[in-house]
Structure 1
């Protein structure tokens, strides 16, 4: 542990976070990954609005290239700001930093050198941030290391809290109701801790599961810890043990060896009701589940747990016996919404399927009916298929589902014809079309929209109007299986047969037509979609393609679901890819939209794409918007935080005075 103080002693934290859950960033702070424990990603700040958004200038930047031996380019954090101090994880080694939120000055850093334990971790990114807790003058930062340890720091100094765990550290590979090798076990996490009612909720993450080396893997249980002592309070078995609810959904003793089912995304907490909402991923084998027959609870489910005891309050399984990688990494969104004349406490779950599942978060009852509908049964040897899958009746899907001929590129008849020739080698169909065994003569794979919908980025909500804003991406993958042979005992793994190709482009253009990425506004009062808007400028390779010369191509949006921020007037999101600007610079834009209509409300330049979520805060009466960006900056891979503000905090400044 190497703390570094940089003039932090005089930079005091003056206020505490109230024990009650806050809705949106209160008092100009941003106290949790999603702004609050309900992941609304909402702030009532309004100094920056449609009339001056494009006039913002860069207040400060903080690069992470020197935080670790390798410069990272994928900084996924949404930072916290509490009483003028900016906190985040950052760097290849997942350091913790504290900055002056007004000017970016480094106040302190904290580093843990975990050696081989970190090197073999399945989640070696810089992390998505951290958590904050306070009780009077006792103010703490909580984060997960790359080696799957939980550490508490003094928020003022960056030093460990000695009374927490063992000298400030809890080893999360211990006390997990299973044997976990401290060095080699495939488990970690890069989401942030969530804290409510003095309980820290801890999830788990694994390597991507398309090519598992074994049907046996460590299980991703969910645990709760005392925020003061680090003592484990409870554990929830995401693969049920004998006698537990859901055990009967695991046939042929598959519960005993199947792993994964981790909660690798952000959870959400309703402190008033004492409930934590956890999204659970698929069991071992993203695309083949032969060794795990049955519906496999609590895989690919939303589970509501008692925050104090870990007891299951209710659950809903979105996908039975998942073989599509349709896990639930999007943070559940909590809000109270007026529906049919009644105030309903809802939890809204964006998804990779592009369904927004909406439940009464107290009872678990769907707000609108969810129907079990028959789906196609596949023919992969040894696979077990569920005859039905859940389909929400409202809201409608907010992004394309499945793949059909009508989804293919159609800029010109010639390009569409080429696309039709390519897809002859694939199996296509609606959502839940099953994977196939890859064959050289075809089908090479099943085309699925697994790159569509929402991933870990999730959405946001305006708690005053009950409108959810969610980014999505329209993309496809080829889901083919091959015998695992000596590579694994699973039976089948993701791959292509010898001689089978994987072409998913037409002359270098995406096989599907735009928009490649968009933002949707969904009204939870009515279960309807208010608007869609393509998010992100048209990529250079599309607008400059020789086959499209002379054509007017509307803004296509960019692939990669955007993370949205909602303020009193705006929806704000960063672009996920770079384009060449009119002045020759390459970069991306931080964009604002009118939240009522989706119309453009302004944009400012960033030197690299957004890799984390935008957030906003206020210091000394000045509103800031901060975001993590990463990629090729000034000719080398790196990442940085950028903070924007109005010139001198004054909305009356002219564009000529703005540095971009």
Structure 2
């Protein structure tokens, strides 16, 4: 079965030329003039550096020779968290235009700062004093003569504000804002879609993706383009095709009426000369069970090339067929140029959660390294028809581990190892594409594996791509739920706890909970003897002859207590919340709905595989930084990044840690990275991976860094999460000393 569907590429009489801006007005509030300095102060004026999503900077004032001298230059504290709100992550990748930095905070407020001092120029609160919040990875800048705009989303609305003043542009949408709920399938007054990554500009269009629910009844993730001047919706591309459209035959015939997801939440890239926008898409919903979406499910998990001016389909490449693992394409594609047989070939390099790097011809979507369709395990879950094959690129090799054996389990102590081994052996596991199951599935790499929204950084001077990877297995456990509109029926937390008891407890304590005195006490009437907290501690820690069950307990706490305490009609708070969300999704749908097939929920979704003390269940490294030569498909180097000192064995390399933020690379020969669990910011030699510099941040650096020139000095900036001292988070900049 082919995994590429495309129509012939329409050759243009000539390539669309890049727009040339001949004159730039300089505002009095800026500290630099026009000319070369102004040009250099636009080297990071777009999310991830440029429209190719390269995360590359041509700046080289900060070099391998002097990077160790970096020191804090300024820190901005938004201080916009309302009292009593929890700390939030700030994932913003700040942009800088002519001496002004534009960024969002962890609370999703918009700020303009002097790029050389961090001094506040203006701020804008899209929530008018309300709580707001939500993930924001940055903003978009656009200009035409004197008309300079910042476009960004907050909640489910798209805003346009004046770049120099922060005042809403009242001619855009309705009083400066346009609803992102309009133009999808559902009732705009009943749905709420919340973009997390900034849009990208093509001429006078802002092309946007969105984040949608990941449950049944979710909205489809249509790609939409808006007129930057008016906020008018100009075109949209159906990521779940309608009748007559490419890919329609990869779904049940009415799926476009009820299927959701296949959305771009990661951002996208543009080739302006070709007039093409490249979109990375996530999985269809529901993420872990697809009886109602039998087929390959285009354009879920696809890289899609569209005409940027019209939204018309050009080509696609699907990385996962009929996704059952939440293997979204979580980062925008990198637009790169390879050397093949002495010729330059423009390409697309797409990172993934699976740990594969997909390298595709930019004009046709054809893989530039061989890709094999290989058989993968079938599903055992009633109603599910997993796709029988999946694509496996032969080059480059995966940058994250894709398989393990019992020998790869952690060994902190004999007790810990025995518990991990027992759990590992209890789950279904047949490799990277083992389908979720009602007995539990060991998922590896898992939804947090491979690389996340930080994606790759590409050096056009060398053809090397740098990517941070994570090895973070998790457990999925499917539970059948009632799919009627009221979500009632006999689905209960008690039944989930009963299954847990049968799997792990009944062999000692008996099927009837009577036990076998004196070694295995009766569990009848347990609620009168101890409270739930004490019971869960004993299960997690082990007691007497009973080993620790901490590796299988997470996510099951409410269930086992419901069973032990004979609470027969109880449902978990998370499950109840999910079912209410499904109900709301379906009530908002304006089309005929499909609700007759069975439904399952992954009640262990996103649950880590860990031992009783919360330590990773597999041996390190748990996070690496990788340098991949795209010309050859070979690795230049791979190093662990980040560390858990308490878990590092004497004489062994650092452990590496997980993290979602991505690296950046500079002409100064440096790869900068943060986002690891040890709250550090790193500088690596791009040629060999040697650590050149590191510094401890006030809190977790939860965003991809930016580097820019202001007032003749190069700065490195990073957004950080909130903490007890500053719940609203920080923006911190570093520079060389005077």
**Shorter-chain TM-score range:** 0.7 to 0.9
Greater displacement, 479-488 / 322-331: 479-488
Aligned residue in 2 for 1:466? 463
Contact 1:16 1:137 in 2 (8 A): no
Alignment of structure 1 residues 451-490 onto 2, 5 Å: 451-485=448-482, 486=487, 487=579
CA shift digits 1:412-453 (9 cap, x unpaired): 777655532331111222111111113xxxxx3333321210
Does residue 648 of structure 2 align to residue 640 of structure 1?
Answer: no
- Secondary structure of the corresponding residue to residue 316 of structure 1: strand
Query: Quick check: 1:162 aligned with 2:190?
Result: no
Name the SS for the 1:509 alignment partner: coil
2:665 paired with 1:574: no
TM-superposed deviation, 1:133: 0.9
Q: Does 1:557 align with 2:656?
A: yes
Q: Deviations over 1:271-302 (max 9, x none)?
A: 11111111111111111111111111111111
2:711 and 2:727 map into 1 onto residues whose CA distance is 34
Q: Which stretch of structure 1 is more off in the superposition, 609-618 or 70-79?
A: 70-79
Distance 1:99 1:386 in 2: 50
Gap regions ≥5 residues in structure 2: 1-26, 488-578, 583-594
Contact 1:328 1:351 in 2 (8 A): yes
Matched-pair contact (CA < 8 Å) for 2:124–2:167: yes
1:138 aligns with 147
How far apart in 2 are the matches of 1:39 and 1:592?
Answer: 20
Higher helix share: 2
User: CA 1:153/1:631 → structure 2, altered by over 3 Å: closer, same or farther?
Assistant: closer
Q: How far apart in 2 are the matches of 1:80 and 1:507?
A: 40
TM-score of the two chains, using structure 2 as the length reference: 0.77
How far did 1:258 drift?
A: 0.9
For residues 32 and 295 of structure 2, the distance between their equivalents in structure 1, rounded to whole angstroms, comes to: 52
Q: Residue 610 of structure 1: which of 672, 678, 701 is its match?
A: 701
Relative distance call for 1:40 and 1:50 in structure 2 (3 A) is same
The aligned counterpart of 2:273 is 272
- The answer to whether structure 1 residue 53 and structure 2 residue 67 are counterparts is yes
Does structure 1 retain, via aligned residues, the 8 Å contact 2:31–2:711?
no
The match for 2:442 is 446
RMSD of Structure 2 on Structure 1 (CA): 2.4
Of 475, 484, 492 in structure 1, the residue corresponding to residue 600 of structure 2 is: 492
Structure 1: where are the runs of 5+ without partners?
1-7, 18-24, 439-443, 579-587, 649-660
Q: 1:126 to 1:418 in 2, by over 3 A?
A: closer
Determine the C-alpha separation between the residues in 2 that align with 1:14 and 1:327: 44
Where in structure 2 are the equivalents of 1:370-519 lying within 5 Å?
370-410=371-411, 416-438=417-439, 444-450=440-446, 451-485=448-482, 486=487, 487=579, 491-495=599-603, 504-505=610-611, 507-519=613-625
Measure the CA separation in 2 of the matches of 1:247 and 1:536: 45
- Which digits, 9 at most, give the CA deviation of each residue in 1:394-429, with x for residues without a partner? 111011014432432257777655532331111222
Displacement after TM superposition at 1:495 (Å):
1.7
Alpha-carbon distance in 2 for matches of 1:149, 1:13: 34
Answer whether contact 1:564 1:573 (CA < 8 A) is retained: yes
Deviation at 1:552, TM superposition (A): 3.2
CA contact (8 A) 2:409 2:420 kept: yes
Distance change (3 Å), C-alpha of 1:464 and 1:26? farther
| Cα offset, 1:572, TM superposition | 0.7
Larger Rg: 2
Shift, 1:228, TM fit: 2.2
Matched residues, number: 595
Match of 1:97 among 100, 111, 116: 111
Query: Hey, which of these two has a bigger chunk of strand by percent?
Result: 1
Conservation of the 8 A alpha-carbon contact between 1:354 and 1:399:
yes
Distance in structure 1 (CA, Å) of the matches to 2:599 and 2:235: 35
Q: Distance in 2 between matches of 1:528 and 1:161?
A: 49
Q: State which drifts further: 64-73 or 478-487.
A: 64-73
The alpha-carbon distance between structure 1 residues 31 and 284, as it changes in their structure 2 partners (threshold 3 A), is: same
- Pick closer, same or farther for the CA change 1:137–1:555 going to 2, 3 Å: same
Q: Cα offset for 1:126?
A: 4.5
Q: Which moved more, 1:358-367 or 1:343-352?
A: 358-367
Distance 1:15 1:271, change over 3 A: farther
Moved more, 61-70 or 341-350: 61-70
Asked if 1 retains the 8 angstrom alpha-carbon contact of 2:709 and 2:715, the reply is yes
The answer for the alignment partner of 1:22 in structure 2 is none
- 1:226 Cα deviation (Å)? 1.9
Partners of 2:274 and 2:453 in 1: how far apart?
25
Q: Which has the higher contact order (CA 8 A, sep 6+)?
A: 2
1:288 is aligned to 289
Match of 1:596 in 2: 687
Query: In the superposition, relative to structure 1, how do residues 71 and 445 fare at CA in structure 2: closer, same or farther (>3 Å)?
Result: closer
Alpha carbons 2:46, 2:140 under 8 Å: kept = yes
Give 1:575 shift.
Answer: 4.2
Distance 1:37 1:503 in 2: 38
1:108 aligns with 2:109: no
TM-score by length of 1: 0.85
CA distance, structure 2, for counterparts of residue 219 and residue 109 of structure 1: 33
Q: Which residue of 2 aligns with 1:30?
A: 44
- Taking structure 1 as reference, are residues 564 and 340 closer, same or farther at Cα in structure 2, changes over 3 Å only? same
